[in-house]
Structure 1
Amino acid sequence: MRIAIFTDTFLPEVNGVANTLGKWVEYLRARSIPVLVFAPQYGSLVNTEGGHVERFFSLPLIFYPECKLALPGRMRTERILHNFQPTLIHVATPAAIGLLGAGYAAKHGVPLVASYHTHFDQYLKHYKLAWMEQALWKYMQWFHRNCKRIYAPSESTKLKLEEKGMKHVGIWSRGIDAEQFRPAVSAEERASLLRNRGLDPELTYMLYVGRLAPEKNIEHLIISFASLPSRILDKSRLLIAGDGPLYGHSPSVPHNLSEEHIQWLGYLRGNELRDIYSMSDLFVFPSSTETFGNVILEAMASSLPVIAAGAGGVLDIITHEKTGILCPPEEPSSMVNSIIRLYDHPHLSKSLGEAGREYCLNRSWVPIFDQLLSSYNEVIAESNSMVNMSRSPQKKVK
C-alpha cells in the first residue's frame, strides 16, 4: 500500500482538519506505510517534513483567508506521483489540488477515495453568497463521481451527503487523546494555572475554542454572555481561543459588558491549549455548521461541562442532559438559560463534566484509524479484482 493525500490544509496550520490528517499520516508512517501529502506552502515552510510532504504555492480563500488554496503545477505533480507510484489516492479537498489528485487517479486507474470535512454550503449565507449553493452541490456531485468511498466524520454529515446524491458514503469518525487533554488535578492546580495568566481564581471562566468567523456564530456567543444576569456576569469572564476575521471584535452588546469581561487568547497549541481547558469552568460552543466538532471532544476530555448548538456533527457527540447540554441553533436566549442553569447547579455541571470525560476515554484514535485503514484495503482489493476481471479472457459464446 502506498497512499497519496491531497489537501488544502495540513500541519502546522491549526484547525480540526489539519490535526486529523496530521494524526492519520503519523499513524501510517508508524506502520511503515509509505504516504505522500500534497499540501499548501505556509510562509517559508517548504518540504521540511522528512520528504513525506510536498508543498505548493497557495493563495488565501477570499472569505476564509486562513484557508490556503494550493495551486500545484500539473507536470510537477504527475512527475512526483509517477515516482511514488501510489496504490490509492485520498482527496481531502474538492479545490484545485484535489482536482489534480482525482484527475491522476482517473488517468492511471488508481483507486480514489475522498473525505468531506466542511459544510461550505452553510458558510455561504454568512458571506452573502447563498445564491451559489445549488451550483456548489452540483460541482460536489461531479467531483466525487469516481470515488470508491467518501468518508464523512459523523452520521448527520453522512445522511446529508446521501441526501445530496453522494454514493458510497462511510464514516471516518474522530478520536481524542484523553491523556493530552485532562481536567485539573486539584483546585490548587487550577488556581495556579489561572494566576500564571494573570486571572483571578475566584471568578468563573467560560471558554470558546475555534475559528473566529461569522459561520461560528461568535456574535451569538458574545451576546449570550453579555445577557447573563449581573449576579453571574460580574463574577465571570469569557475566554476566546482562536483566530479569524472576528478576532478582538465585539458586536453591539449591552453596556454592562466591559472590555475586561472578554479575554482574546489567539491560537493556542500543546500545553497552552490543554491548560486553558483545565482552568476553565464551562465550554460554550454556538456553531451550527460543524461536520463533527473536535474541540467539543477536547473540552469533554478535560471534564468541562459543554453547552452547544444542537446541530450537525455535534449531535453525534453530545447526549443531551447526559454528556452536555444542547440548545436550539442560533437561539442565544436558550444558551443564556443553559449557562444560568449550570451556574446555579454545580452538581449538574460536575456530573456532565465527568460523563463527558468518561465518554472520551473510549474514543481513542487507534481503533478509528484501524477502521479507516481496513476500508483503504477493501477499496484496493475491490479495484484489483475489477482489473483482474477486465484482463481475464472472455469465452466465446457459440
Structure 2
Amino acid sequence: HLLRFLLDQPTLDLVHVNNYRNFPSDIVSLWSQRKGIPTVVSANGSIYAYRYMPSFPLSKKVLYRLHDAFVSAPIRNAAIALAVSCAEAKHYEEFGVPRKKVRIVPNGIDLDSFSPGRPNDDLRSALPLGSKLVGFVGRLDPIKGLQTLLKAFESVSQQTPGCKLLLVGPDFGMKRALMSVVHERKLSGVIFLGPVSYDRLPNIYRTLDVVVTPSSFEIFGMSTLEAMACGKPVVSTRVGGMVELVQEGYNGFLVKPEDDHALANRVIYLLQHNDSARRLGENARKKALEFSIKRTADLTEKAYFECVSSDSQRAEFRDAQNTHSA
C-alpha cells in the first residue's frame, strides 16, 4: 500500500520523515532521495536512545548496527535534520550528519491547557487531608529510572509521613517488577494509576506537589515540560535534553541518574519548604512559556522553506522573520 501510494503521488516539493530505523520511514526516505525530492528528518530520539536502555537486548543492538551499516543514507543525506534538543543535535553529528544541516526545533505544548490552576478533587478526595503527593508521568519502562524512584520514595515517606507516590502511565514491561519492590519494601504509599487520556494530564499535574523524572536518558523531557507549564517544581536527572529545561535551583533540581539519595533529598526539601517549591514552580512556568506550539511550528516552517527555496527567497524569508520578531 505504501509503495502504491508513493507511485501515485504527483511531484512533491518536500518530504518530512519521522523516526529512524522504521521500515516505512526508510522506504519513503529512499524513494524521495531517488526522486531528488528534499527530505527533512526528525529522529525523535531514535538514533542512539538504545545506548541508555539497561535491558536492551544484545540481539537488537546487533540488528540496529546492521541497519545503520546498510540503510543509514536516508538520515545522513537528508537536506535538513530536526533535533528537539542540543543533545539530539550531538547524536546527529556522531551519526555523520553535518552540523550545518541540523536545526534545533524543540517540542511545543498547548500552554493554555497545560497551565497553573486549581485541580479538581478527584485524586485528593481519596487521600487524608493535607497529604503530600509526588508524581511520575510516563511509560513504566526501564529507561525511566523507576527502581531508583522507589528507593528514593522509601526515604521520602519516612521523612514526610502520609506522602503518596503516584505513577501515571502505561506498562512497558516494568509494572510487575515495580510492584514486587513495593511489596518487599512495604511502600504502602505507592499508587499505580495506569494510563490516562491526554486531556486528563493537566489536572493530574496540578494535583501533584512535586513532579519527578528520574530517567537514565531523555532526548527532550516532555512530561517535565508539561509539569513546568502547570507551575510545578520538578526534580529530574542531569541527562540529555533535561539540562536544557531545568535550571538548577531556579525552576527545579537536577540529580545524577540512579542516585536515590540525592533524589530523595531534593524531593524532601521541596515537600518541606513550601515557599521555595512555590517559587521554583513559578519560574518553571516562565521557562515553559518558551516552548509554545506556535514556536515549534514557526521553526519547522522555516526549515521547510530552507529546503525548497532559492538563495534569494531564503534571504527574503529571513528578513521577514527578523522584522516580525522585532
Determine if the TM-score, normalized by the shorter chain, exceeds 0.5: yes
Match for 1:86: what amino acid? L
CA 1:257 to 1:139, structure 2 compared with 1: closer, same or farther past 3 Å?
Answer: farther
Does residue 184 in structure 1 map to residue 110 in structure 2?
no
CA distance in 1, matches of 2:246, 2:283: 10
Percent of aligned positions with the same letter in both sequences?
26
Q: CA deviation at 1:123?
A: 4.5
Q: Superposition pairs for residues 221-300 of structure 1, below 5 Å?
A: 221-228=149-156, 230-232=158-160, 234-243=161-170, 244-247=172-175, 249-250=177-178, 251-252=180-181, 255-258=184-187, 260-300=188-228
Counterpart of 1:88 in structure 2 is 14
Q: CA deviation at 1:349?
A: 1.0
Q: How far did residue 147 of structure 1 move?
A: 0.2
Whole-Å separation in 2 of the counterparts to 1:102 and 1:313: 26
Which runs of structure 2 are paired with 1:387-398 in the superposition (5 Å)?
none
d(CA) in 1 for partners of 2:173 and 2:149? 15
Pick the aligned partner of 1:115 from 30, 42, 47. 42
Match of 1:50 in 2: none
How many angstroms apart in 2 are the aligned matches of 1:315 and 1:235? 31
- 1:152 aligned onto 2:79: no
1:169-180 pair list within 5 angstroms: 169-180=102-113
3-state DSSP of counterpart to 2:267: helix
- The residue that corresponds to 1:127 in the other structure is 56
Matching residue of 1:330: 258
Q: CA deviation at 1:143?
A: 3.5
Between the aligned partners of 1:343 and 1:139, the Cα distance in structure 2 is 52
What is the CA distance between 1:155 and its match in structure 2?
1.1
- State the shift of 1:131 in Å: 5.3
Q: Distance in 2 between matches of 1:327 and 1:171?
A: 25
Q: Residue 270 and residue 211 in structure 1: after superposition, are their counterparts in 2 closer, same or farther (change >3 A)?
A: closer
Distance 1:231 1:376 in 2: 53
1:358 and 2:289 matched: no
Instruction: Give deviations 1:361-390, integer Å, cap 9, x for gaps.
Output: 3322112211210110111125999xxxxx
Q: Which residue of 1 aligns with 2:139?
A: 211
Unaligned 5+ segments in structure 1 are 1-72, 386-398
TM-score w.r.t. structure 2 length? 0.84
Question: Which residue of 1 is the match for residue 316 of structure 2?
Answer: none
Alpha-carbon distance, 1:103 to partner: 1.7
> 1:99 is matched with which residue?
26
- On the 8 A contact 2:233/2:277 being kept in 1, the answer is yes
For 1:58, the equivalent position in structure 2 comes to: none
Q: Over residues 29-88 of structure 1, what are the superposed CA-to-partner deviations in whole Å (9 max), with x where a residue is unaligned?
A: xxxxxxxxxxxxxxxxxxxxxxxxxxxxxxxxxxxxxxxxxxxx45323234x25x4211
Partner letter of residue 121 of structure 1?
Y
RMSD of aligned residue pairs (Cα, Å): 2.5
**How much has 1:139 moved relative to structure 2?**
5.6
Q: How many residues align?
A: 304
Question: Where is the helix percentage greater, Structure 1 or Structure 2?
Answer: 2
Q: Which residue of 2 aligns with 1:301?
A: 229
Give the Cα separation in 1 of the matches to 2:221 and 2:70: 25
Looking at structure 2, the residues matched to 75 and 137 of structure 1 have their Cα atoms a distance apart, in angstroms, of 22
Q: Which has the higher contact order (CA 8 A, sep 6+)?
A: 2
Contact map agreement 1:297 1:360 (CA 8 A) in 2? yes
Instruction: Note the alpha carbon deviations across 1:204-238, whole angstroms, 9 max, x for none.
Output: 11110111111111211112112335231x31111
Structure-1-length-normalised TM-score = 0.70
Give 1:360 deviation, angstroms: 1.7
For residue 115 of structure 1, report the CA deviation from its aligned partner: 0.6
Secondary structure class of the residue paired with 1:110: coil
Contiguous gaps of at least 5 residues in structure 2: 314-326
Whether the 8 Å CA contact 2:33–2:74 is kept in 1: the answer is: no
1:120 CA displacement: 3.0
